[in-house]
Amino acid sequence: AVGTYLLSRYFSSRSDSKEKVNLEVDKDNAKVVHSFDIEDISKKAVYCRCWRSKKFPYCDGAHTKHNEETGDNVGPLIIKRR
Ligand code: FES
């Protein structure tokens, strides 16, 4: 019950934020999904999480400009091999 209460508070506190995250990637698709086999990642892969990269799903550094313009704090997901 406490968990449900906290979840409902979390979501209702976010109800003022209904803008789209994805402004231009693959807009003809109902859902944009990318899948990679872990074996195909060489030393390091850097994936975009801000949806502003021109090389999506890979990060091209566009998050820096997005953060400057919006006050956001997003950055990429980096997957490395040891
Ligand atoms: Fe989107 Fe870097 S360009 S996270």
The predicted structure's pLDDT at residue 82: 86
User: Over the stretch 31-43, which tens digit does the pLDDT of each residue have?
Assistant: 999 999 989 888 9
Residue 54 falls in the annotated catalytic set? no
Atom of ligand 1 nearest to the CA of 55: 3
The predicted structure's pLDDT at residue 77: 97
Q: Which residues 6+ apart lie within 8 Å of 52 measured at CB?
A: 23, 62, 63, 65, 66
Closest Cα to atom 2 of ligand 1: 59
Q: How confident is the model at residue 18 (pLDDT cuts 50, 70, 90)?
A: confident
Q: Give the ipTM.
A: 0.99
Structure tokens belonging to residue 2: 């406490």
Residue 5 Cα, ligand 1 centroid: separation in angstroms?
A: 34
Structure tokens belonging to residue 65: 């400009």
Q: Catalytic residue among 18, 20, 31, 44, which?
A: 31
Residue 13 Cα, ligand 1 centroid: separation in angstroms?
A: 26
Say yes or no to pLDDT of 70 above 70: yes
pTM for the predicted model, two decimal places: 0.76
